[in-house]
Amino acid sequence: MPMQPSRRSFFKIGTGGAIASVLGFDLKPAYAQSRELKIARTTETRSTCPYCSVSCGVLIYTIGDKAKNVTPQVIHVEGDPDHPINRGTLCPKGASLEQDILNPRRLLKPQVRRPGSDHWEDIAWTQAIDEIGQRIKKTRDDTFIEKDALGRTVNRCESIAFTGGCTDTNEFNYLVVKTMRSLGLTYIENQARV
Ligand code: SF4
């Protein structure tokens, strides 16, 4: 027998799906079918959420991978139910992973805000790399410490720090740490704890 909702509980239920459940319809097949329709004709790729070191497993569904002259497009991302860490769940940040790829506000070029300026401007990658290199060299040359107060050789650069983000791989962090140490940096932080 379908459950009889009270007038109060009927109005408390805000969605059509919930109302249908209360009226006795089993919505599981409908939900399952809508999910199947959503990912029909897609390619499933297993991956890892890049946002934090929990490293939850995700399934990424793309459409158009096998067609000629079509740019593959991610259409759905969800937690991997077979992954031992998250067993299909994702936190809100991981659940928004699709936006990491599709958001029109995603930055695709390096930007710089010049001293005194009130806005950011796009610059080319080559220009960004050149400018960063010039600033690193000048700062290091101006502030390099060869000996400490007791006259001991230290060869360090305390005026530059490096911090890595959660999307950096272990391999990237390994190279960064090698490079930064070769410049004499002591203030280095990254999520890989290299
Ligand atoms: S889903 Fe959340 S908890 Fe899992 S790796 Fe991504 S950010 Fe971390």
Rounded distance from Cα 48 to ligand 1 centre (Å)? 9
Is the CB of residue 54 below 6 angstroms from any atom belonging to ligand 1? yes
Is the CB of residue 191 below 6 angstroms from any atom belonging to ligand 1? no
What is the position in ligand 1's atom list of the atom closest to the CA of 89?
Answer: 1
Q: What is the C-alpha to C-alpha distance for residues 185 and 155, in angstroms, rounded to an integer?
A: 9
Percent of the chain with pLDDT over 90: 53
Structure tokens at 72: 């593959």
Please check whether residue 100 is in contact with residue 68, taking contact to mean a CB–CB distance below 8 angstroms: no
Is the CB of residue 101 below 6 angstroms from any atom belonging to ligand 1? no
What is the position in ligand 1's atom list of the atom closest to the CA of 54?
Answer: 5
pLDDT, tens only, 30-81: 767 776 777 888 899 999 898 887 889 999 999 886 677 788 889 999 999 9
Is the CB of residue 94 below 6 angstroms from any atom belonging to ligand 1? yes
